[in-house]
Structure 1
């Protein structure tokens, strides 16, 4: 892989670096050439979230794709999982989502789905990157593709999401706060919940191009937690900007992360003999407490690198059907090809109805091992992890913890950040080790 694609497509600040309209046009042409190289008529669907720059990238990508003969179907603002779904159902060769997910509004990104609805592999992205470098010749004028707006894409998605909720169930009498982060699900999430009978309290549903993820959504769940308490709601559902991740809030205003949700679903599916391979796929960031809890229930935890695409790759390799990330990406391949926050939220609500238990009882399956994560931003061109002082600090921290915990240091695949994470039963040791490493990383940044 080169420098263009990160762990989740291409991403950066709009109108800087690679994230310009001209580069998006070239990327669209390269992707179009890759998928249309065998000739014939080809189709691509494009969705986006609510960022102002989405208009610019949508038009640029459309120009690049049609210049190589691809016909473009424009979905408008829809969640990322809707693009995966509609790529398959509309028999498209390619799906494109324009979104920077949980990042601030000034950022944007472009991610791709193959005809099977799954994200493209590293190998395919490398070939596309090579085409971007080489440049692509446009097709003759008579072969230029067409572009068409699809007005009912979000309604198709709502019906698909609702179909995963047990048909005999309704959400009558359940009050749900749904925080859509002023993002792609601002319309579909409240609609789906209301149609299933819930009493819906909507927040984060007034996008203006600049407020996506701003003090709301899965990255700022306290806003939803306050709303849950204020409205005496039964549960809160927090989505991020493109609605592929979920953070849940119980009736007491307490936050439950992806690990707690996965613990609940894995053991439930295991008891119902639905958990393929008796395994849950999660990343190296998932808590040790989750791993220990699953072991006690006969479920194996398979760990991957950080990124929901790596979770999905391992699920497909091993034939597993449940996976996700602590950050809230939940992948249920029986239902969808990628993380789907709304779909996961409905599965949690179904468990509330089935069990008759409050959200607080379902969101505390295990006691997490104390975990501390700190991010250090580094300057362009810096390589702090290569500094000897940083490597020495990491080794010292690992030695101090020994068998009492673990240290995980990694570079973010979506932002210029070094993530310093550690877990340990001894919280004083935990803070000491993390702060020591953070200080050295900051000095080398």
Structure 2
């Protein structure tokens, strides 16, 4: 065979290989993702995957299609329930329903500080050589660690992913708050290991959020991430150069979040009930129903100017203190009220204003003027509240980036990173974090 013939044959083989690859990409089912992305949040958590071939990120829902599950685990005499099933028992089984475990994971506590932290919870927190553990009493008494609670949530999300994808999952990327130290990161990895997962990378939540917004692929330098979830506020200033993110400053309030806004509304509603009927709601069942109604109203007020409350209550008469208690009224009364967005904003005006304190701190510590911030990224469901968005846009004189669902920003970024770690096609531009060992987070209360 001549040299020209050989070259022609080699060319044909290469062309055939390219054609096979192209047809394979077009018509063969893409490989299933083997690495999941996990956001283990204080109040809610989510799991996502990056789909090879399409380059899409999918956040996986539970049996009922809900994209986030509450970070709650409840212990009964027969089972351990995680997520929505766990939260459903929070009012009827409060001493054995553990939530906010992320606040305790991997931390070393002085006894006095642990007592202060645990005073606001209905479950019992004990000190085991400086580590927090939760005291559970069902048909037996035992203690569980924060990483065990985390593992039950991670196991539930792993099973959600396996059911949805139809393949076993053993590898994951997980996010943590930027201020987590080495010990807190290691204990988070330990929680994942207990759930049968091998963690390929730990990524900071603000960096994950910036990746979800595609900021690892565009020319920006200074990114401010405002993360306002159910229980905590975290503000981070990221500096991006090339494909690398450096966290320049962090500040926050670990006792400010959506739960506090709901609580203000609940207190107002309970007072309205007392004024209308002369009896404050004291029954667990009544308070549970009011809490659910108030939470739904808060969500509605994000989209609507007003929300209607309609709650059946079995009010317990106060009666004469010398007389035996009469028990709840047989027929429920129907408490009705209209909650306006203006009222909600008024009840929470001082709390909303507190959001700007850590924002000002990170800019001062990062030696940056507010006009030098290229992108303001919103994370966490509470950043949907119109007044909060307005507050931030007025402060900076420009609109924050709202192109990503704030509830799912972190899990989306973690899923992109999981796709990169899994070698997915087409390859995304990866972002590398530069660990900033000397960074300290400023906490406001």
Q: TM-score, length-normalised on structure 2?
A: 0.27
Q: Which has the higher contact order (CA 8 A, sep 6+)?
A: 2
- Give the TM-score normalised by structure 1: 0.27
